[in-house]
Structure 1
């Protein structure tokens, strides 16, 4: 090993640096080259010294391995440097090409400039020759041009005079048009008031006839005369009195403004109520809507849908109702605020559920299809079997049945989704509105198979009715009238098809913001609104018939809203929640008792059957023995 080291050292002896003759190197460059060579030789010398100073073969081997690794690293660095040199060479070539292209552009621009200079010189020469040779002809052409200018000036003056005359005529016509428009507006307003007064007089007339007919002191001849007068008044129907504006048979959402009644005995009340509604709308609609629109416009000014936030001001505005111009925007915000977390987790949820509905048969699809044509049958958008709104409603209900398989589909959901479609004008937003109502606003188990939460709410309503309206509650109990037979449907569909459309939408404005206690407020307000009329009825069957349709006879929506949110106070949410929990527990206990009784009955019945079968078998055995 020592001999090998001496041989390696001999090979690393200092050697003179020989510069070939074919390279001519300046003196400074030669000095730098020699310095680099000297540094390299010194490094080799230092390495050899370290190798000789090593104490053992193992240490020398480690030094040699370290030097080899260092040499490999240097080779890699050299390779990278060569690669960088190649990149720089390519970049230089690109720059040279760009410089050559710029030189070509400069040459072309120079040639173009020289050409333009030549053209300018030629044009100057031509102009000079024309001025020197054609002085007389130019004077003639100048005279002709001046004459044409004078003619044009005359024409312009004539046109100016004509324009002034036409402007004067136009001003007079505009003034006449404005005057006639103001007169037309005044006449329309006067006509509306006259129509309203006519409706009021007709309503009073029919009311008086009805009171006369109910008077038992009338003689038969007088009663027959009154009946004939009522029949004559009803023969004309509603067309000549309340349908003066044929374009207003339905509101903006397609609901009938004046409801139709199918019960023959209610025709007189229906006509009186329709006249009152028509009169109220004509007299109060403009005066009520304009301040409301102004307040909403001021509140929403400069705000996007995402900027809306809960506040007492917004709560008060929603209780007063949202104008049609802003209802879609406000409802969209309310629905998104209720479903924000679910939508953030599943932003494409509705599209995915629709695809699932197309790919797989839904268990509730048959019932949904049956209920489609029973949905808002008096609404223009759902009355036709081929209406696109029905197909939109079908997709929304199928998507919800996949979204909430515990419910699937329950009768009543179609009306909730239909109203959401009419206002929000979007399938996806209507789907999320249905999710918000069923899963976030109303209590759990409201639409499940047993409807436990719905039944509990009816018991809570009876409690509130006895507390807020004790006289009416006692009157209903005296005549054995169960309000749940009427109110259950109110709560299940949140008054859809139970209230006129303007009142229904106003209720929903507050319902989507404040929650289900709004339903209780309006239910109690309806009974308060008609309390005196109900107290006058002394027959249970008549009371029940009256309760079936009286919600559609409400004419003063502002008064109903005031009763709901002022007269029904205080109405704490904690009290509502506690009552719900109490009645729900009682219902669950009753249901459990009923199930236990059924199981006990089945067990006893099964035991009796087994005993009888054994007795029959024993009798049969005895008879066989005797044989």
Structure 2
């Protein structure tokens, strides 16, 4: 059967305008059944007690990642059922990889890529990797497998034995208990201790960056998918060091600030009316939505939508992140244009991201409704941003020098007056 991406997108856009409960009882019942099947599969995979007699009021159903499914409206239930059906059909196309067909390495590394993925594999990954194959595909496509092979022997084990600053350990320990508190797969002693070791190992691996809040959510989500501690570390290294720009998770998050300026630049050429509105209302997305990048959507989008974004990121690189951001902004443009304050804009975007259960529609919109752009265009924006930031830094330093000069002159004048007064008294 042909893919139903266009139908899925059309259905999603219709549902956005009609969020009232559906009168189609039979369709809702089918969607509810699909949701329950997904929950039961997840509970079995996480070792939870699969008890079909538990009432909806007692235990919330879980998704494939161990997150409770609560307060889903009719549109979300339909979207999840639609995506689950599509994923089941597409899963058959991956059978060759289940049977041992090799996957190429380093698909997502823009700087180190030797060859691009073949078109068929790129399309497959953009349309979604089957849940059971994600560990294998992400480890290969991200470059984690080859990076581990090239690293010194027992590199991860040796990192774990090295000391780390107390401040880093303390912050990691604080964030462990804040991470996905409702997730049944992570929120165990095994899950928290695994993430602790991974985060501290990364801090030792990249001491210039160390640990930054947001990494905890990235690492925890990778753990929920991969369930292999060392490979979580290596995939995280590939994502943060190779795919993301330098400085994204630096102590001053300078890389994050730069990438959001690039995002505003791309928005200006694709949705100029919205960008002008942001400028008029002094809306800087990094101020209200830094989690999109620092947590790589894991604290913003529903889990399956996050996984679908990462499927494409590991195949096509960081530009997918820009596409998804632009897609969500474009989808919400009419509502955003009505927001005249940062809190209103932030709340609208948070709600919209949280409700984006239709991963098929999101990815279709990101790749078909967002105007195309190349890596060279991104690089041009990045170069412009670097120049602007350098100019701003130079201007700040100039102003600092002028302030210091004025301060020194005032202090010298004050000292001269005091000396003159002292002599007068003598």
Does TM-score exceed 0.5, indicating one fold? yes
Q: 1:522 to 1:481 in 2, by over 3 A?
A: same
| Mapping for residues 67-466 of structure 1, pairs under 5 Å | 193-195=27-29, 244=56, 249-258=61-70, 274-282=73-81, 284-304=82-102, 310-335=117-142, 337=143, 340-341=146-147, 343-357=149-163, 364-383=168-187, 387-466=189-268
**1:400·1:431 contact (CA, 8 Å) conserved in 2?**
yes
The Cα offsets for residues 228-266 of structure 1, whole Å up to 9 and x where unpaired, read as xxxxxxxxxxxxxxx8597762212122334xxxxxxxx
Matching residue of 2:299: 497
| Residues 511 and 551 of structure 1: CA distance in aligned 2, closer, same or farther (over 3 Å) | same
Shift of 1:430: 0.9
Asked if structure 2 preserves the Cα contact closer than 8 Å seen for 1:308 and 1:333, the reply is yes
| Unaligned stretches of 5+ residues in structure 2 | 1-23, 34-54, 108-116
The residue aligned with 2:114 is: none
Deviation digits for residues 346-368 of structure 1 (CA, Å, limit 9, x no counterpart): 131100001114xx655521221
1:376–1:415 contact (8 Å) kept in structure 2? yes
1:339–1:436 distance in 2 versus 1, CA, 3 Å: farther
CA distance in 1, matches of 2:298, 2:252: 22
Q: Cα 1:347–1:311, aligned 2, differ >3 Å: closer, same or farther?
A: farther
Say whether the 8 Å CA contact 1:416–1:496 is kept in structure 2: yes
Which structure 1 residue ranges, 5 or more long, are not aligned? 1-189, 200-242, 259-270
Residue 531 of structure 1 aligns with which residue?
333
Offset, 1:479? 4.0
Cα-Cα RMSD: 2.9
Q: How far off is 1:572 after superposition?
A: 0.7
Matches within 5 A, 1:508-547: 508-535=310-337, 541-547=343-349
Instruction: State whether residues 522 and 564 of structure 1, in contact with CA within 8 Å, keep that contact through their aligned partners in structure 2.
Output: yes
C-alpha deviations, 1:392-441, integer Å up to 9, x for none? 11111111111111111111111111111111111111111121112111
Q: TM-score, normalised by structure 1?
A: 0.55
Compared CA separation, residues 311 and 423, structure 1 to 2 (3 A) = same
Where 2:299 maps in the other structure, the secondary structure is coil
Change (3 A) 1:197 1:292: closer
Q: Contact 1:393/1:414 (CA < 8 Å) preserved in 2?
A: yes
Post-superposition Cα deviations, 1:272-313, rounded to whole Å, max 9, x if no partner, equal x6332123324x245312211111224543325679983211
> Is residue 289–residue 346 contact of structure 2 (8 Å, CA) maintained in 1?
no
Q: How far 1:579 moved relative to its partner? A: 0.9
**Cα 1:244/1:469, change in 2 over 3 Å:** farther
Distance 1:596 1:501, change over 3 A: same
Contact 1:397–1:414 (CA<8 Å) still a contact in 2?
A: yes
**For the Cα contact (< 8 Å) 2:256–2:293, is it kept in 1?**
yes
C-alpha displacement of 1:560: 1.3
Q: How far apart are residue 519 of structure 1 and its match? A: 0.5
2:288 is the alignment partner of 1:486: yes
Equivalent residue, structure 1, for 2:12: none
1:541: how far off? 4.8
Shift of 1:537: 5.1
Q: Tell whether the 8 Å contact from 2:203 to 2:209 is kept in structure 1 after alignment.
A: yes
**Aligned length in residues:** 373
Structure with the bigger RCO (C-alpha within 8 Å, sep 6+) is 2
Secondary structure, counterpart of 1:494 in structure 2: coil
Give, in whole Å, the separation in 2 of the partners of 1:198 and 1:307. Answer: 39
| Distance in 2 separating the partners of 1:440 and 1:288 | 32
1:608 and 2:410 correspond: yes
User: Given that residues 219 and 232 in structure 2 are in contact (C-alpha distance below 8 angstroms), is that contact kept between their aligned partners in structure 1?
Assistant: yes
- Whether the 8 Å CA contact 2:271–2:330 is kept in 1: the answer is yes
Map Cα deviations across residues 153-193 of structure 1 (whole Å, 9 max, x no partner).
xxxxxxxxxxxxxxxxxxxxxxxxxxxxxxxxxxxxx9873
1:619 paired to 2:421? yes
* Contact in 2 for aligned 1:254/1:379 (Cα 8 Å): yes
Distance in 2, matches of 1:424 and 1:332, equals 8
**1:316 offset after TM fit, Å?**
0.7
- Offset, 1:330: 0.8
Rounded to whole Å, the distance in 1 between the matches of 2:73 and 2:380 is 41
Aligned equivalents of 1:539 and 1:449: distance in 2?
A: 28
Equivalent residue, structure 2, for 1:73: none
Describe the SS at the equivalent of 2:160: helix
**Contact persistence 1:322–1:506 (CA under 8 A):** yes
